Chains A and B, each alone.
Chain A
Amino acid sequence: MAEPVGAVMVIGGGISGMQSSLDLANSGFKVYLVERGPSIGGVMSQLDKTFPTNDCAMCIMAPKLVETGRHENIELITNAEVEMIDGRAGNFLVTLKKYPRRINEETCTGCGVCAEKCPTEAIDEFNEGLKHRKAVYVRYPQSVPLVYMIDREKCIGCGICEGECKAGAIEYDEKEKILEINVGSIVLSPGSSKFDPSVRSEYGYGIFKNVLTSLEFERMLSATGPHLGTVVRPSDGDIPKKIAWIQCVGSRDKAKGNSYCSAVCCMYSLKEAIIAKEHFQGIEPTIFFMDMRAYGKDFEKYYIRAEDEAGVRFVRSRVSGVEEDPETKDLTVSYVENGEVVDETFNMVVLSIAMNAPEEAEILSHRLGFKLNIHKFVKAGLFEPLDTTKPGIFVGGAFAGPKDIPGTVAEASGAAARAANVIATSRDSLTKKKEYPAEIDVSEQEPRIGVFVCHCGINIGSVVDVPAVVEYAKTLPNVVYADENLFTCSDDTQTKMKEIINEQKLNRVIVASCSPRTHEPLFQETCRQAGLNQYLFEMANIRDQCSWVHMHEKEEATEKSKDLVRMVVAKSALLDPLQKSKLPVTKSALVIGGGLSGMTAASGLADQGFDVHLVEREKELGGNLRRIQHLLSDVDPQKKLEEIISKVKDNPKVNLHIGSKIEKIEGRIGNFTTTLEGGETIEHGVVIVATGGVEHKPTEYLYGENPNVMTQLEFEEKLTKGEIDLEKSNKIAMIQCVGSRNEERPNCSRICCSEAVKNALKIKEKNPDAEVYVLYKDIRTYGFNEDYFQEASEKGVLFVRYDDDNTPIVNPGQNGLEITLKDPVLDEVLRINADLLILSVPVLPQPDSEDVGRMLKVPLTKDNFFLEAHMKLRPVDFATEGVFLCGLAHGPKFVDESIAQACGAVARAATVLSKDEIEIEPTISHVVDENCDGCAYCIEPCPYDAITLIEYMKNGSVKKTVDVDESACKGCGCCQATCPKEGIFIWKFKLDQLNAMIDACLGVA
Chain B
Amino acid sequence: MAEFEPKIIGFLCNWCSYAGADLAGVSRYQYPPDIRIIRVMCSARVDPMIVLTLFKEGADGILIGGCHIGDCHYISGNYHTEKRVYVVKKLMEKAGLEVERFRLEWISASEGEKFAKTVTEFTEKIMELGPSKVGEDPELTNRMGAAVDASLDFRIRSLLGHEVGMIENGNVYGETKTEEEMRNIIDIAIEDEFRRSLILGVTSSKPASAKELSQIANLPTERIVEHIATLRQKNLLAIDHVDGMTPYYVALRVGGD
Which A residues have a C-beta under 8 Å from some C-beta of B?
117, 119-121, 130-132, 156-160, 162, 172-173, 209, 226-228, 230, 232-241, 280, 282, 347, 550-553, 556
Contact = CB atoms under 8 A, between A and B. Distances in A.
Contacts of B192: 121
Contact of A237 (B170, B247, B255): B247
B245 A241 contact: yes
Contacts of A160: 158, 162
B30 interface: no
Contact of B232 (A120, A228, A234, A282): A228
Interface in B224-257: 224-226, 228-230, 232-233, 239, 242, 245-247, 254-257
Nearest to A116: B154
Contacts of B246: 237-239
Interface string B74-90: 00000000000000000
A328 B233 CA distance: 27
Contacts of A233: 225
Contacts of A120: 185
Given A158-B166, A159-B172, A239-B246, A232 B158 contact: no
A157 B185 contact: no
Contacts of B229: 130-132, 226-227
12 contacts: A119-B158, A158-B172, A172-B172, A228-B232, A230-B239, A234-B222, A234-B226, A235-B221, A237-B225, A238-B210, A347-B245, A552-B255
A119 B155 contact: yes
Contacts of A158: 158-159, 162, 166, 171-172
Given A240-B245, A347-B245, A550-B255, 8 more contacts: A119-B158, A121-B188, A131-B226, A156-B177, A157-B175, A232-B225, A235-B225, A552-B254
A239 B232 CA distance: 16
B173 A236 contact: no
B41 interface: no
A117 B166 contact: no
B203 interface: no
Contacts of A550: 255
Interface string B120-160: 00000000000000000000000000000000001110110
Interface in B171-199: 171-173, 175, 177, 185, 188-189, 192
A156 B210 contact: no
B214 interface: yes
Nearest to A132: B230
A355 to B, nearest CB: 27
B229 to A, nearest CB: 4
B230 A131 contact: yes
B235 to A, nearest CB: 9
A21 to B, nearest CB: 31
Q: In the complex, which range does the number of interface residues on chain B fall in?
A: 35 or more
B217 to A, nearest CB: 12
B170 to A, nearest CB: 8
B232 to A, nearest CB: 5
Contacts of B211: 236-238
Contacts of B175: 157
Nearest to B213: A237
Nearest to B157: A119
A159 B171 contact: yes
A395 B173 CA distance: 40
A227 B159 contact: no
A236 B255 contact: no
A553 B245 contact: no
A552 B256 contact: yes
B209 interface: yes
A230 B162 CA distance: 37
Is chain A's interface secondary structure helix, strand, loop, or mixed overall? loop
- Please give me the 5 A-B residue pairs with the lowest Cβ-Cβ distance, nearest first: A552-B255, A237-B210, A157-B171, A226-B229, A158-B162
Contact of A227 (B158, B209, B232, B254): B232
B158 A236 contact: no
Contacts of A552: 254-257
Contact of B166 (A156, A173, A227): A156
A104 to B, nearest CB: 15
Contacts of B171: 156-159
B255 A117 contact: no
B94 to A, nearest CB: 18
A77 to B, nearest CB: 24
B189 A230 contact: no
Contacts of B155: 119
Contact of A131 (B166, B221, B222, B233): B233
B204 to A, nearest CB: 15
Contacts of B257: 552
Given A227-B232, A232-B247, A236-B221, A157 B254 contact: no
B125 to A, nearest CB: 34
Contacts of A239: 242, 245-247
A551 B236 CA distance: 13
A943 B187 CA distance: 59
A550 B256 CA distance: 10
Given A119-B189, A120-B185, A209-B222, A157 B232 contact: no
A826 to B, nearest CB: 39
A238 B222 CA distance: 10
Contacts of B159: 119, 158
A162 B172 contact: yes
A152 to B, nearest CB: 8
Nearest to B245: A239
Nearest to B242: A239
Greatest chain B CB density within 10 A among A158, A173, A237, A239 is at A237
A152 B256 CA distance: 40
Nearest to A157: B171
A727 to B, nearest CB: 64
A225 to B, nearest CB: 9
A237 B221 contact: yes
A232 B177 CA distance: 38
B214 A236 contact: yes
Contacts of A280: 242
B173 A172 contact: yes
Nearest to B228: A237
A131 B225 CA distance: 9
A240 B171 CA distance: 45
Nearest to B189: A119
Contacts of B170: 157
Nearest to A552: B255
Contacts of B162: 119, 158-160
Contacts of B173: 157, 172-173
B221 A157 contact: no
A244 to B, nearest CB: 16
Contacts of B226: 131-132, 234
A347 B230 CA distance: 23
A119 B210 CA distance: 25
Interface in B44-79: none
B209 A237 contact: yes
A159 B159 CA distance: 10
Nearest to A556: B256
B222 to A, nearest CB: 5
B74 to A, nearest CB: 22
A839 to B, nearest CB: 48
Contacts of B185: 120, 156
Greatest chain B CB density within 10 A among A157, A226, A228, A233 is at A157
B167 to A, nearest CB: 11
Nearest to A347: B245
Contacts of A230: 239, 247
Contacts of B224: 237
B28 to A, nearest CB: 49
Contacts of A226: 229, 232-233
A493 B185 CA distance: 39
Contacts of A347: 245
Contacts of B242: 239, 280
B256 A553 contact: yes
A130 B227 CA distance: 10
